[in-house]
């Protein structure tokens, strides 16, 4: 009755006060919200005037005032099978309203799922694009030679962490030259404190080597990072 607008102003106000705190009634109103629109699409030839809702007087001499009559609205003319007085169209209209509501809910679920899938694909493409462009990769800086004979070239990427510093290194060893196999060590030289050996390795002419090591010293306390030979001689250095 509320959805069809058949309540009096007082009844409507009372029902709306109840509706504000009743989830079950809110769901019912939402489910049948399309009912007035569906009723409006009925063939006018099917509907007939039901007349006043007041019970007619029993004799011609009886009378009733216009205030005793009220609008009953359109009604489908009953067929012989409708002796009970039940409107045969109403169940079909209600069923159509339910189907329409279920279809709308499915459409919204698919729309939400499709939006999430598109967002996920865009996220993957963005990550791939960043990687292909080289963005977000460590910024490697070439180390400088500090000895007369240096058989290796190297670059470093330094990243400050809460518990120290992450050092990434890439090395390449000069081909030929009779250098043979050398042992190398990576050192962090702090502004205050003792030098810290991060790693050691052995490589020869034409080799390439990469490593990632963690220093206990914070980024702002590192003076420089060195690659040293087995005897401790600095070969390459990078001021931090």
Predicted confidence (pLDDT) per residue in 226-238, tens digit: 999 999 999 999 9
pLDDT at residue 45, as a whole number: 52
Question: What is the rounded average pLDDT of the residues 205-215?
Answer: 92
Q: Is the pLDDT of residue 153 over 70?
A: yes
Bridge pairing between strands 152-161 and 164-173: antiparallel
Q: Is the pLDDT of residue 42 over 80?
A: no
pLDDT at residue 223, as a whole number: 96
Q: Is the pLDDT of residue 72 over 80?
A: no
Composition of the chain by helix, strand, coil, percent to 5: 35, 30, 40
Residue scoring higher pLDDT (161 or 39): 161
The token pair that represents 101 in the structure block: 């509501």
What is the distance of C-alpha 164 from the center of its chain? 34
Say what percent of the chain tops pLDDT 90.
33
Q: Which of the listed ranges 28-32, 121-125, 163-167 does the model predict with the highest average pLDDT?
A: 163-167
Q: Is the pLDDT of residue 78 over 50?
A: no
The token pair that represents 178 in the structure block: 């009779």
Residue scoring higher pLDDT (137 or 93): 137
Tokens 């390439």 belong to: 208
* Contact yes or no for 225/237 (Cβ under 8 A): yes
The token pair that represents 215 in the structure block: 């220093």
Residue 56's closest CA among 68, 72, 67? 68
What is the distance of C-alpha 78 from the center of its chain? 54
The token pair that represents 58 in the structure block: 């029993």
**How far is it, in rounded angstroms, from Cα 172 to Cα 86?**
92
Tokens 């490593």 belong to: 211
Q: What is the mean pLDDT of the chain?
A: 75
Q: Is the pLDDT of residue 131 over 70?
A: no
Confidence band, pLDDT 50/70/90 cuts, at residue 115: confident
* Contact yes or no for 76/18 (Cβ under 8 A): no
Radius of gyration of the chain (CA): 43
Q: What is the pLDDT of residues 154-173, one digit of tens each?
A: 999 999 999 999 999 999 99
Q: Is the pLDDT of residue 121 over 90?
A: no
Q: Which of the listed ranges 25-34, 114-123, 218-227 does the model predict with the highest average pLDDT?
A: 218-227
**How far is it, in rounded angstroms, from Cα 42 to Cα 35?**
11
Residue scoring higher pLDDT (29 or 135): 29
pLDDT at residue 44, as a whole number: 55
pLDDT at residue 107, as a whole number: 79
pLDDT at residue 144, as a whole number: 96
**3-class DSSP assignment, residue 144:** strand
**3-class DSSP assignment, residue 169:** strand
Residue scoring higher pLDDT (50 or 197): 197
């Amino acid at each position: 009755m509320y959805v069809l607008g058949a309540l009096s102003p007082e009844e409507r106000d009372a029902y709306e006060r109840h509706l504000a705190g009743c989830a079950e009634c809110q769901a019912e109103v939402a489910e049948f919200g399309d009912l007035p629109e569906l009723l409006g699409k009925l063939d006018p030839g099917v509907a007939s005037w039901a007349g006043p809702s007041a019970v007619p007087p029993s004799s011609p001499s009886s009378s009733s005032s216009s205030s005793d009559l009220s609008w009953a609205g359109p009604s489908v003319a009953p067929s012989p099978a409708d002796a009970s007085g039940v409107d045969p169209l109403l169940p079909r209209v209600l069923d159509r309203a339910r189907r329409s509501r279920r279809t709308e809910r499915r459409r919204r679920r698919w729309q939400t799922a499709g939006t999430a899938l598109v967002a996920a694909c865009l996220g993957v493409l963005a990550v791939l694009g960043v990687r292909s462009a080289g963005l977000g990769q460590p910024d490697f800086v070439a180390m400088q030679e500090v000895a007369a004979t240096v058989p290796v070239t190297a670059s470093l990427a330094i990243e400050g962490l809460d518990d120290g510093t992450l050092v990434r290194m890439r090395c390449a060893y000069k081909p030929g030259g009779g250098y043979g196999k050398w042992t190398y060590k990576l050192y962090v030289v702090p502004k205050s404190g003792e030098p810290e050996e991060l790693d050691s390795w052995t490589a020869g002419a034409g080799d390439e080597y990469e490593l990632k090591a963690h220093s206990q010293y914070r980024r702002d306390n590192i003076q420089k990072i060195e690659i040293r030979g087995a005897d401790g001689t600095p070969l390459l250095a990078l001021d931090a």
